[in-house]
Chain A
């Protein structure tokens, strides 16, 4: 239902949407029932000529039922909501599936810096790819993020992923996401962080593996420079069977 208004582009977006829909339907149903009863009773017991108003203490069983039965039914609904919420919370926040990649997200007034490993797959090496206000990720890969703040509280929010995580100065907060749908999406700060909070925006690009590889090769400082080891391996590798003679040594 919500995807009609905000695209769902992560593996857990549908689960969170499902939970929000469940809460909306259950709470909405009881809201409508309560309003109907309220206005129904107002109408039924409206002022009539010759009828004196009476005070009802609510101590009789027939009167108490108006409170106890809906109360029990609402509690049953609460059980459904709690079970759904705990399930989603456990899957999204309490579980850390194995990562294909890790990205470090540094928030500050009023910009996002994204640091991704280069071809070596490790952070804090010379081939790291650093981007400002632009995060490029691969469709179908599971990412761990390491969220930091350089100054004040921020909140990393990606509506299309249904992801929102506070960044707290002095803490490194780990979370995860798995992009499922290529496209360009908004990143925003969801915690008031100063005069530039409203313009602390960035873009998230979910790319196919091929597109993402091209992007990495374009940006990584050492991605296109073959290492001596790779060159030596290439020289020692015999041509594949059936390979065209013109494709190699020529």
Chain B
């Protein structure tokens, strides 16, 4: 009886500690989410309140982009691995904005908030692409970005189906011309650049993007 009487408070103590830890963790998570939302207010100016993007400002849709990808891009912009080329007009605009997110905790918080946004299915803006020809070309892209364009975090390859075609076209062009993916610190960009160079011309890019559009449906 005395043993049972001793164990009860001990169990209660463990329960209380567990409950406190749980409350603490959930409180922290709630704090991170609130912080993420707060930080996102700066992003929303260009990327839209729902992260839907704005072509006029050349700001792509970012809603539901994976947290690891948003974190990686913010870090690249901050270090100059991306957005520090004199001809990267949109990147140069994004770079100072990325610097308003100070510290890893804030980067994670805003990236988590972006990842939790409802995904968008942007309408096609490019015309003249042949999805059938693009399908064959996409076989190379699929090795990293996945057969359904779902992305692959292990290869640091983002999903392609949630982003506007005009943005993908602009990025392919930047990779091809060396505006993006030429900085030594940008390892994943350096991987992407030779892939973009395989697309011979604008028509080839339109074709593959037309096929990517079919994956988004």
A117 CB → nearest B CB, Å: 15
Q: Is the CB of B45 within 8 A of A113?
A: no
Q: Is the CB of A110 within 8 A of B96?
A: yes
A-B contact count (CB 8 A): 35
Query: Interface stretch among A8-16, A195-203, A229-237, A239-247?
Result: A195-203
Determine the chain B residues whose CB is within 8 A of the CB of A150 once the complex forms. Answer: 89
Q: Is the CB of A196 within 8 A of B93?
A: yes
Give the interface SS of chain B, mostly helix, strand, loop or mixed: helix
Option from B45, B93, B100 in Cβ contact (under 8 Å) with A111: B93
Determine the chain A residues whose CB is within 8 A of the CB of B80 once the complex forms. Answer: 132
Q: Is the CB of A109 within 8 A of B86?
A: no
Determine the chain B residues whose CB is within 8 A of the CB of A160 once the complex forms. Answer: none
Determine the chain B residues whose CB is within 8 A of the CB of A115 once the complex forms. Answer: 86
Q: Is the CB of A199 within 8 A of B99?
A: yes
Q: Is the CB of A196 within 8 A of B96?
A: yes
Determine the chain B residues whose CB is within 8 A of the CB of A110 once the complex forms. Answer: 92-93, 96-97
Q: Is B95 an interface residue (CB 8 A)?
A: yes
Complex formed: what's the CA distance from A140 to B93 in Å?
Answer: 33
Complex formed: what's the CA distance from A15 to B42 in Å?
Answer: 41
Complex formed: what's the CA distance from A195 to B80 in Å?
Answer: 20
Q: Is A108 an interface residue (CB 8 A)?
A: yes
Q: Is the CB of B86 within 8 A of A113?
A: yes
Option from A113, A130, A199 in Cβ contact (under 8 Å) with B96: A199
Q: Is the CB of A132 within 8 A of B86?
A: yes
Q: How many residues of A contact B (CB 8 A)?
A: 14
Kindly report which residue of chain B lies nearest to residue A112, judged by CB atoms.
Answer: B92
Question: Known: A195-B42, A195-B45. Contact between A200 and B96, CB under 8 A?
Answer: yes
Which parts of B89-123 form the interface with A (CB within 8 Å)?
A: 89, 92-93, 95-97, 99-100
Which parts of B42-58 form the interface with A (CB within 8 Å)?
A: 42, 45-46
Determine the chain A residues whose CB is within 8 A of the CB of B84 once the complex forms. Answer: 132
Determine the chain B residues whose CB is within 8 A of the CB of A199 once the complex forms. Answer: 96-97, 99-100
Kindly report which residue of chain B lies nearest to residue A114, judged by CB atoms.
Answer: B86
Which parts of A111-154 form the interface with B (CB within 8 Å)?
A: 111, 113, 115, 130, 132, 150
Kindly report which residue of chain A lies nearest to residue B100, judged by CB atoms.
Answer: A199
Question: Known: A195-B42, A195-B45. Contact between A108 and B96, CB under 8 A?
Answer: no
Determine the chain A residues whose CB is within 8 A of the CB of B93 once the complex forms. Answer: 108-111, 196
Q: Is the CB of A108 within 8 A of B89?
A: yes
Q: Is the CB of B92 within 8 A of A108?
A: yes
Q: Is the CB of A111 within 8 A of B95?
A: yes
Complex formed: what's the CA distance from A109 to B93 in Å?
Answer: 5
Determine the chain B residues whose CB is within 8 A of the CB of A130 once the complex forms. Answer: 86
Can you give 19 contacting A-B residue pairs, CB < 8 Å? A106-B86, A108-B92, A109-B93, A110-B92, A110-B96, A110-B97, A111-B93, A111-B96, A113-B86, A113-B92, A115-B86, A130-B86, A150-B89, A195-B42, A195-B46, A196-B97, A199-B96, A199-B97, A200-B96
